[in-house]
Protein backbone atom coordinates (compact mmCIF):
# COMPACT_ATOMS: atom_id res chain seq x y z
CA UNK A 1 0.00 0.00 0.00
CA UNK A 2 1.09 3.56 -0.55
CA UNK A 3 0.49 6.75 1.42
CA UNK A 4 1.36 10.41 1.32
CA UNK A 5 1.97 12.85 4.15
CA UNK A 6 1.91 16.58 3.62
CA UNK A 7 3.54 18.51 6.43
CA UNK A 8 1.73 21.73 7.24
CA UNK A 9 -1.93 22.12 6.42
CA UNK A 10 -1.45 25.88 6.07
CA UNK A 11 1.60 27.74 4.76
CA UNK A 12 1.92 31.52 4.43
CA UNK A 13 4.60 33.29 2.44
CA UNK A 14 5.14 36.85 1.35
CA UNK A 15 4.86 37.75 -2.29
CA UNK A 16 8.27 37.22 -3.90
CA UNK A 17 9.43 34.77 -1.23
CA UNK A 18 10.34 31.12 -1.71
CA UNK A 19 7.49 28.63 -1.67
CA UNK A 20 8.24 25.23 -0.11
CA UNK A 21 5.48 22.68 0.33
CA UNK A 22 6.49 19.39 1.87
CA UNK A 23 5.45 15.90 0.82
CA UNK A 24 6.70 12.56 2.08
CA UNK A 25 5.54 9.24 0.71
CA UNK A 26 5.48 5.65 1.75
CA UNK A 27 5.62 3.02 -0.96
CA UNK A 28 6.81 -0.55 -1.29
CA UNK A 29 7.92 0.01 -4.87
CA UNK A 30 9.30 3.00 -6.77
CA UNK A 31 6.37 5.38 -6.86
CA UNK A 32 4.86 7.73 -9.36
CA UNK A 33 4.42 11.11 -7.65
CA UNK A 34 2.27 14.09 -8.50
CA UNK A 35 1.47 17.60 -7.37
CA UNK A 36 -1.95 19.06 -8.06
CA UNK A 37 -3.35 22.54 -7.38
CA UNK A 38 -6.95 23.37 -6.59
CA UNK A 39 -8.33 26.89 -6.81
CA UNK A 40 -11.60 27.74 -5.02
CA UNK A 41 -14.65 26.14 -6.59
CA UNK A 42 -12.55 24.37 -9.18
CA UNK A 43 -11.24 20.89 -9.80
CA UNK A 44 -7.65 19.75 -9.58
CA UNK A 45 -5.01 20.79 -12.07
CA UNK A 46 -1.79 18.84 -12.54
CA UNK A 47 1.32 20.92 -11.76
CA UNK A 48 3.95 18.25 -12.35
CA UNK A 49 4.68 14.57 -12.01
CA UNK A 50 7.59 12.23 -11.48
CA UNK A 51 7.59 8.82 -13.08
CA UNK A 52 11.13 7.74 -13.88
CA UNK A 53 14.34 9.39 -14.97
CA UNK A 54 15.42 12.85 -13.92
CA UNK A 55 14.69 13.46 -10.27
CA UNK A 56 14.19 17.22 -10.65
CA UNK A 57 10.87 17.79 -12.31
CA UNK A 58 9.73 21.12 -13.69
CA UNK A 59 6.08 21.93 -13.94
CA UNK A 60 3.75 24.72 -14.89
CA UNK A 61 3.67 28.22 -13.39
CA UNK A 62 7.33 28.06 -12.32
CA UNK A 63 6.93 25.18 -9.88
CA UNK A 64 9.36 22.31 -9.56
CA UNK A 65 9.85 19.32 -7.31
CA UNK A 66 12.71 16.97 -6.56
CA UNK A 67 12.30 13.27 -5.97
CA UNK A 68 14.63 12.17 -3.16
CA UNK A 69 14.45 8.43 -2.68
CA UNK A 70 16.73 8.41 0.38
CA UNK A 71 14.42 10.88 2.14
CA UNK A 72 11.18 9.50 0.61
CA UNK A 73 10.31 13.08 -0.22
CA UNK A 74 8.88 15.03 -3.14
CA UNK A 75 8.79 18.64 -1.96
CA UNK A 76 7.30 21.34 -4.18
CA UNK A 77 9.14 24.64 -4.59
CA UNK A 78 8.83 27.92 -6.42
CA UNK A 79 11.54 30.58 -6.15
CA UNK A 80 9.23 33.58 -6.00
CA UNK A 81 5.61 33.47 -4.88
CA UNK A 82 2.92 35.35 -6.72
CA UNK A 83 -0.47 36.33 -5.42
CA UNK A 84 -2.06 34.06 -7.99
CA UNK A 85 -0.34 31.04 -6.38
CA UNK A 86 -2.74 31.18 -3.42
CA UNK A 87 -4.59 27.87 -3.59
CA UNK A 88 -4.65 24.40 -2.09
CA UNK A 89 -1.94 21.98 -3.14
CA UNK A 90 -2.15 18.22 -3.08
CA UNK A 91 0.61 15.65 -3.32
CA UNK A 92 -0.43 12.26 -4.71
CA UNK A 93 1.13 8.87 -5.30
CA UNK A 94 0.46 5.76 -7.33
CA UNK A 95 2.45 2.59 -7.82
CA UNK A 96 2.69 2.17 -11.57
CA UNK A 97 1.89 3.63 -14.93
CA UNK A 98 -1.11 1.37 -15.29
CA UNK A 99 -2.46 1.92 -11.78
CA UNK A 100 -6.07 2.97 -11.70
CA UNK A 101 -6.17 5.37 -8.79
CA UNK A 102 -4.29 8.09 -7.02
CA UNK A 103 -3.74 8.30 -3.27
CA UNK A 104 -3.76 11.92 -2.14
CA UNK A 105 -2.24 13.73 0.79
CA UNK A 106 -4.40 15.89 3.01
CA UNK A 107 -3.48 19.09 1.21
CA UNK A 108 -1.66 22.32 2.03
CA UNK A 109 -3.42 25.67 1.82
CA UNK A 110 -0.97 28.28 0.54
CA UNK A 111 -1.58 31.91 1.43
CA UNK A 112 0.46 34.62 -0.28
CA UNK A 113 0.75 37.86 1.67
CA UNK A 114 1.22 41.21 -0.11
CA UNK B 1 -11.29 20.84 -26.79
CA UNK B 2 -13.88 21.07 -24.03
CA UNK B 3 -12.83 19.98 -20.54
CA UNK B 4 -14.51 17.61 -18.15
CA UNK B 5 -18.00 18.77 -17.29
CA UNK B 6 -20.02 17.82 -14.26
CA UNK B 7 -23.68 18.44 -13.61
CA UNK B 8 -25.19 19.73 -11.52
CA UNK B 9 -22.60 21.95 -9.85
CA UNK B 10 -24.55 22.25 -6.64
CA UNK B 11 -27.12 19.99 -5.08
CA UNK B 12 -29.04 19.98 -1.81
CA UNK B 13 -30.74 16.82 -0.62
CA UNK B 14 -32.17 15.51 2.62
CA UNK B 15 -31.20 12.40 4.52
CA UNK B 16 -32.62 9.21 3.09
CA UNK B 17 -32.96 10.54 -0.44
CA UNK B 18 -30.90 9.36 -3.37
CA UNK B 19 -28.89 11.43 -5.82
CA UNK B 20 -27.38 10.99 -9.27
CA UNK B 21 -24.39 12.99 -10.45
CA UNK B 22 -23.23 13.19 -14.04
CA UNK B 23 -19.82 13.51 -15.63
CA UNK B 24 -18.94 14.06 -19.28
CA UNK B 25 -15.28 13.31 -20.01
CA UNK B 26 -13.04 15.00 -22.51
CA UNK B 27 -13.79 13.83 -26.03
CA UNK B 28 -11.81 10.69 -26.78
CA UNK B 29 -11.20 9.80 -23.15
CA UNK B 30 -12.45 6.38 -22.21
CA UNK B 31 -11.64 6.27 -18.51
CA UNK B 32 -13.65 8.08 -15.87
CA UNK B 33 -12.78 8.12 -12.18
CA UNK B 34 -14.72 9.53 -9.26
CA UNK B 35 -13.31 11.00 -6.06
CA UNK B 36 -14.97 12.29 -2.92
CA UNK B 37 -13.46 15.34 -1.23
CA UNK B 38 -14.36 16.25 2.35
CA UNK B 39 -12.61 18.42 4.94
CA UNK B 40 -12.23 15.49 7.30
CA UNK B 41 -11.22 12.66 4.98
CA UNK B 42 -9.64 14.61 2.15
CA UNK B 43 -9.65 13.20 -1.37
CA UNK B 44 -10.72 9.58 -1.57
CA UNK B 45 -11.04 7.37 -4.62
CA UNK B 46 -14.53 6.01 -5.27
CA UNK B 47 -14.30 4.02 -8.50
CA UNK B 48 -13.04 3.98 -12.06
CA UNK B 49 -14.84 3.02 -15.23
CA UNK B 50 -13.40 2.14 -18.60
CA UNK B 51 -15.41 1.06 -21.63
CA UNK B 52 -18.55 0.72 -19.51
CA UNK B 53 -16.86 -1.59 -17.00
CA UNK B 54 -15.92 -0.81 -13.44
CA UNK B 55 -12.24 -1.66 -13.17
CA UNK B 56 -11.38 -0.44 -9.72
CA UNK B 57 -13.28 0.44 -6.59
CA UNK B 58 -12.36 2.29 -3.44
CA UNK B 59 -13.42 1.54 0.10
CA UNK B 60 -16.94 2.93 0.10
CA UNK B 61 -20.23 1.27 1.08
CA UNK B 62 -22.53 -0.23 -1.50
CA UNK B 63 -24.75 2.87 -1.34
CA UNK B 64 -22.25 4.40 -3.74
CA UNK B 65 -22.53 3.08 -7.24
CA UNK B 66 -21.79 4.19 -10.74
CA UNK B 67 -22.03 3.37 -14.36
CA UNK B 68 -20.59 4.40 -17.68
CA UNK B 69 -22.36 4.70 -20.98
CA UNK B 70 -21.15 3.82 -24.45
CA UNK B 71 -20.24 7.46 -25.11
CA UNK B 72 -18.01 7.36 -21.99
CA UNK B 73 -20.27 9.64 -19.98
CA UNK B 74 -20.54 8.45 -16.40
CA UNK B 75 -23.00 8.77 -13.59
CA UNK B 76 -22.61 8.05 -9.93
CA UNK B 77 -25.48 7.36 -7.61
CA UNK B 78 -25.70 7.59 -3.86
CA UNK B 79 -28.71 5.98 -2.23
CA UNK B 80 -30.08 6.54 1.26
CA UNK B 81 -28.10 9.72 1.77
CA UNK B 82 -26.42 10.37 5.10
CA UNK B 83 -25.17 13.66 6.52
CA UNK B 84 -21.62 12.43 6.06
CA UNK B 85 -22.12 12.18 2.32
CA UNK B 86 -21.93 15.95 2.08
CA UNK B 87 -18.86 16.53 -0.04
CA UNK B 88 -17.41 17.75 -3.28
CA UNK B 89 -17.56 14.93 -5.81
CA UNK B 90 -14.88 15.17 -8.46
CA UNK B 91 -14.80 13.37 -11.74
CA UNK B 92 -11.61 12.85 -13.70
CA UNK B 93 -11.07 11.53 -17.18
CA UNK B 94 -8.05 10.12 -18.96
CA UNK B 95 -7.39 8.38 -22.22
CA UNK B 96 -6.84 4.87 -20.97
CA UNK B 97 -6.95 5.05 -17.20
CA UNK B 98 -3.39 4.30 -16.23
CA UNK B 99 -2.86 7.29 -13.99
CA UNK B 100 0.89 7.03 -14.01
CA UNK B 101 1.17 7.22 -17.77
CA UNK B 102 -1.92 9.25 -18.59
CA UNK B 103 -2.83 12.58 -17.12
CA UNK B 104 -6.15 12.71 -15.35
CA UNK B 105 -8.14 15.85 -16.11
CA UNK B 106 -10.50 16.86 -13.35
CA UNK B 107 -13.88 18.49 -13.64
CA UNK B 108 -15.01 21.34 -11.36
CA UNK B 109 -16.97 18.98 -9.13
CA UNK B 110 -20.48 18.70 -7.81
CA UNK B 111 -21.01 20.15 -4.33
CA UNK B 112 -23.54 17.90 -2.54
CA UNK B 113 -25.08 19.09 0.70
CA UNK B 114 -27.17 16.65 2.72
CA UNK B 115 -29.53 18.20 5.27
pLDDT (tens, 9 = 90+) of chain B, 115 residues, equals: 689 999 999 999 999 999 999 999 999 999 999 999 999 899 999 999 999 999 989 999 999 999 999 999 999 999 999 999 999 999 999 988 777 777 889 999 999 999 9
Using the beta-carbon criterion (under 8 Å), do B45 and A42 form an inter-chain contact?
Answer: no
- For the segment B74-101, what is each residue's pLDDT rounded down to a tens digit? 999 999 999 999 999 999 999 887 777 7
Chain B CB contacts of A103 below 8 Å: 45
Per-residue model confidence (pLDDT) at position B15:
97
Q: Using CA atoms, how far apart are residues A4 and A23, in angstroms rounded to an integer?
A: 7
DSSP string, B78-93: E-S--GGG-EEEEEEE
| B92-108 residues labelled b (16+ CB within 10 A) or e (exposed) | bbbbebbbbbbebbbbb
Q: Using CA atoms, how far apart are residues A47 and B64, in angstroms rounded to an integer?
A: 30
Using the beta-carbon criterion (under 8 Å), do A46 and B104 form an inter-chain contact?
Answer: yes
Per-residue model confidence (pLDDT) at position A54:
85
Using the beta-carbon criterion (under 8 Å), do A43 and B42 form an inter-chain contact?
Answer: no
Chain B CB contacts of A95 below 8 Å: 100
CB of B25 less than 8 A from some CB of A? no
What are the Cα distances from residue A101, in Å, to A34, B46, B71, B95?
12, 9, 22, 14
Which residue positions in chain A have pLDDT lower than 50? none
**What is the total residue count of chain B?**
115
> Which residues does A contribute to its contact with B (CB < 8 Å)?
32, 36, 41-46, 49, 51, 90, 94-107
A106 φ/ψ sector (left φ>0, alpha ψ -120 to 50, else beta):
alpha
Using the beta-carbon criterion (under 8 Å), do B100 and A100 form an inter-chain contact?
Answer: no
Per-residue model confidence (pLDDT) at position B98:
76
Per-residue model confidence (pLDDT) at position A75:
97
Distance from CA of A56 to the nearest CA of B (A): 17
Q: Using CA atoms, how far apart are residues A46 and A38, in angstroms rounded to an integer?
A: 9
Per-residue model confidence (pLDDT) at position A88:
97
Using the beta-carbon criterion (under 8 Å), do B100 and A101 form an inter-chain contact?
Answer: no
CB of B28 less than 8 A from some CB of A? no
Q: Using CA atoms, how far apart are residues B25 and B17, in angstroms rounded to an integer?
A: 27
Give the other-Cβ count within 10 Å of A114's Cβ. 6
Per-residue model confidence (pLDDT) at position B107:
95
Amino acid sequence: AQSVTQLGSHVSVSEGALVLLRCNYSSSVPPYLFWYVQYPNQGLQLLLKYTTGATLVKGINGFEAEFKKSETSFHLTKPSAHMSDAAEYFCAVTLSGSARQLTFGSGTQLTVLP
Amino acid sequence: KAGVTQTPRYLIKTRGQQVTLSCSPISGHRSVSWYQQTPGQGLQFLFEYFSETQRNKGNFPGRFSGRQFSNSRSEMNVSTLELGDSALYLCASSQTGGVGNNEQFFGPGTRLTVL
